[in-house]
Chain A
Amino acid sequence: MPVERLIRPLKIATLLAIGTALFAPAAEAQGISFSGKRIEAVVPFGEGGGGDTYTRYMARVLGPKLPGHPSIIIRNVPGGGSVVGANWFQANAAKDGTMIAVASTSTTLTYAMRPKDPNIKFDPKKWNAFIASPMGRVVYVHSSTGIKKLDDLKSFKGELLMGLQSPTGSDMPTMLSLEMLGVKVRPIAGTDGGDQNLGFQRGELTANADVTSAYKQVGEPLVAQGIAVPLFTFGYQNEAGEIVRDPNFPDLPSWVEAYEAVTGKKPSGPQFDAWKALFYMAVMSSKALVLPEGTPEAVIAAYGAAAQNLANDPEFKAKSGDFVGTYPQLTGAAAGESLRKAMSLDDEARKWLAGWLKERFGITI
């Protein structure tokens, strides 16, 4: 038998093997497959909110990217402003990759602000984030205030009325951002998103903020009608680690720019540290999907690869804007880094924030 005939199939086999190794996700090579399995995504909120919609969308598009194409189902565990669900995930999550969770601003904010609360039994610093979705925020005021552009804030002597759901909730960073610019804000607490929007449209409230996707639907029409005047965005952190203009709103200054323009100084000190921590929580890792503590490296790698694969998918890029925002998705190690940064509120900054909450709302945390 000629040697060549032996070599040829061998060649094909080698080529096939190399091809498989090149094109298959790394995980499958390590034997990880979720074929026929049901993966649960824990949402620590009730059905219908932002965190829920985000997770439902991601579950839908992420499933086909995972090895074995599992279906991902949603388990809502509401209560305690995400504390109940996060505790449940920490205590009960299977560590083989069949259970994931969403960590959103409420979860990170609660964790960062209440380090000594015995009810908090979860540790998101130990969770393994595999995709983090940034979401920008735009702050705008009512045209009845007479404010027409950012510079008018310098001479603005009045008071802005702003609705916020709770002093320690996700609206708080907006109020703090305005106050740090030296603007007087009268918070109308206990006012949730829908009421904030309607109150603003009726002119009863004069300041409001929306996340990017909501702003494009609700805020921009108000700007077009001359009711709302956009002032600044929270900004966006670029790869060099600087806070720059939000790529979705290149015409609007970031908060850092706004601070310099209005006060004439660069932001610094513990109050800037506090603001930055809130910025990471609210914008850079607005929502992240995580695996529990103790998940094997291979599983984390499989999820990281799937997330990367998803983020590069042209169809995802084209269609995902309404659900996850039109920002580059952070995957794998970058996602974990972003989530950890979001919770790195140092003691001095926390003390400063606690003092501010005490002064403005009379509450002790």
Chain B
Amino acid sequence: MTSAFDAILPALHTLLTFDHLSLLMLGIVIGLIVGILPGLGGVAGLSLLLPFAFDMEPSKALAMMIGLLAPMHTSDTIPAVLMGIPGTASAQATVMDGFPLARRGEAARALSAAFVSSLAGGLIGALVLTVAIFGAKPIILSMGFGELMMLTVFALSTVGVVTGSSSLKGLAACGVGLLVGTIGGAPATGEFRMAFGTIYLGDGIPLVILGMALFAMPEIVELLRRHTTISEAGTLGRGWLQGLKDAVEHRWIVLRCSIIGVVIGAMPGLGGSVADWIVYGHIVQTSKDKSQFGKGDIRGIIAPESANNAITGGALIPTLLLGIPGSGSMAILLGGLVLIGVQPGPSMLTTNLEMTFTIIWSLALANLIGAGACFLLAKPVSRLTTIPYGLIGPVMITIIFFGAFQATRSWDDLVALFIVGTIGIFMKRFGWSRPALLIGFVLSDGLEASFYRVAQVYGWSFLERPIVLVIIALTILSVIAAKRMKKGDASMKDFLPTLRMRMPQILFTLSVAVFSIVSLYDSFGQSQLARIFPMWVGLITLALVGAIAVFQISSTVPRTVFKDSEFEEQTPYGDGHFLMWIAGFLALVGIIGMPLGAGVFVFAFSTVKVGGPIWRNLLIGICTTALLLVLAEVLNLYYPEPWIVAVGRVFG
């Protein structure tokens, strides 16, 4: 260990030189930006920086690359809280309570609480990494296929706390999520499931698209419908000092969730997009007063934000120690390390020890600086919530479609977001839990592959492993806790819709049933290994959906399965009206191209819905076009070829 202490301070000393610090800052700035822009994340940011990393000294390149990864999960909170758009996949749970807080006019409070927790999470992650790098290998190696499968099952059990008022619908939504996750290549055989001969579905629906379709699009459309500002109060309310106090008050939650985040990050195969949900479930289950979760409980932000930033520290453990990346960004970081001549593996503890500490110090420093920058931003960006939504809404629409376009950079991404987003709007309207679907989706692949691995390698004997039993016990406890919570939540509205009013939700339930049937039918055409998982999930889901349909059609008493928000709140225009606007936007993109189409759409929408002055709307439109053009240049993108160019080419 003496060698470790010999390396700690020289590494810091190297990092604190002008060259290193300025590259660290460059990384941080890019990290903050890719965190804020939905669809872009560590992978996009790192591949942007890699060409420059080549010529640098390894320690400088490391400062830059880690500088980029560290603040990303701090700044991704900004769109999650202010607009309900997760900036990266691991900010999804933050939306649950963050956005309702912004709606209440407490955006600044929510953001500052998030940034403080995020900072703490990042620093704890760096600290744990420092210690763990010397002793974590046996622990990582003790987690076998059986343990990893049970961890996935445990993660799935958190669905219990996000089912919404109807458990039946929540579980069915989770089943649908699992089924949607089976679309694409089967993990065991590579056969295509429910791809219907297309290449696009052959890879499955991209997570970024599902995340934005389920969370962002329904919220944007609802806000447009209500035609107000994001903050219902129209003002900023309690400010950032309150958020700071909240985080300090809940410091034990911060600590607990950070540690959970590090542990999940360190397990190869679980991934960051699960961690935020696991701690969200954890915090809801362990809180006495659960009534405000989902409606704007500050703990619902503090927990996922501490965890999702601690993940980076955790994920670096297997990456550096074993040379095995735990996530997409870690995979490209690993590639980057090799390119600059640093070979991850046991040498990180011996000959490359100073590099290891350069990484750790960079992580800590970048977290501090990144969170500081976000903190300064919190108040000014919160003002966005007081601007009329008719002006921000169309810009948000172009941004989420731009984010979706990053999935495979094809026209299909835009169409996929539109279709799945429409489904998301219906789910929100009829009270189907969107987080439950997302959790099912995120875990589907891992669950199927790990189930298959365990069956092949162990059979039932995996139950003889002690850690497996511990995780099973935790899972059971978590399910019981979720059930308890439901009992306290039974505030039934005395409302029984007439059959005519029930019709829209019954139709939606039936279309969910049709999806399950299609999935089942498709599974029968597969080989046995590719069939088992979708077949069983399909059968269970179909049973759940069937029960919902029966209740919805025949019930004579009020039940939690009923929900149709369009009847609860009348607005001048329905969801369909705004979906037509979005379809119009896509048509414009198809005809005159993405940058120009977006600008015209933003201008037209704000002029029609908000009115003058024209110069302001024109300015917003031009800025939107310019932003998309700049991004295309920086990220080296080709937008889908517009129709007029294609026609122009035909006629020479």
Listed in ascending order, the chain A residues whose CB lies under 8 Å from chain B are 40, 46-49, 52-53, 56-57, 60, 73-81, 83-84, 87, 118-119, 161, 163, 166-169, 186, 188-191, 194-195, 197-199, 201-202, 204-205, 217-218, 221, 322-323, 361-363
Contact = CB atoms under 8 A, between A and B. Distances in A.
Nearest to B48: A47
Nearest to B142: A202
20 contacts: A47-B328, A47-B331, A47-B332, A48-B325, A48-B328, A48-B332, A49-B331, A73-B636, A75-B636, A79-B202, A80-B203, A119-B202, A161-B457, A166-B190, A190-B186, A190-B449, A195-B269, A217-B345, A322-B343, A363-B191
- The binding surface of chain B is classed by DSSP as helix
Interface in B134-164: 140-142, 144-145
Interface of B: 43-44, 46-47, 50-51, 54, 140-142, 144-145, 185-191, 197, 199-200, 202-203, 268-269, 322-326, 328, 331-335, 338-339, 341, 343, 345-346, 408-410, 448-449, 452-453, 456-457, 527-530, 636
A166 B185 contact: yes
A49 to B, nearest CB: 7
A243 B457 CA distance: 35
Contact of B527 (A48, A191, A201, A361): A361
A361 B199 contact: no
Given A167-B189, A191-B449, A198 B323 contact: no
Given A80-B203, A191-B453, A362-B527, 11 more contacts: A48-B334, A80-B199, A87-B199, A166-B187, A188-B453, A188-B457, A191-B449, A202-B141, A217-B343, A363-B189, A363-B530
B338 A53 contact: yes
B620 to A, nearest CB: 31
B12 to A, nearest CB: 28
B58 to A, nearest CB: 13
B190 A168 contact: yes
A168 to B, nearest CB: 5
- The binding surface of chain A is classed by DSSP as mixed
A323 B145 contact: no
B145 A189 contact: no
A46 B190 contact: no
B199 A84 contact: yes
Contact of A197 (B54, B199, B322, B449): B322
A321 B190 CA distance: 32
B446 to A, nearest CB: 10
B149 to A, nearest CB: 12
A274 to B, nearest CB: 18
Nearest to B456: A188
A204 B199 contact: no
B68 to A, nearest CB: 13
A56 B339 contact: yes
Given A83-B199, A189-B188, A57 B345 contact: no
A47 B43 contact: yes
Nearest to A77: B409
Contact of A361 (B322, B449, B529): B529
A80 B335 contact: no
A57 B529 contact: no
Contacts of B54: 60
A76 B47 contact: yes
A77 to B, nearest CB: 7
Contact of A362 (B187, B323, B338, B529): B529
B141 A53 contact: no
A167 B144 CA distance: 23
Contacts of A167: 189-190
Contacts of B449: 190-191
A217 B145 CA distance: 24
A186 B456 contact: yes
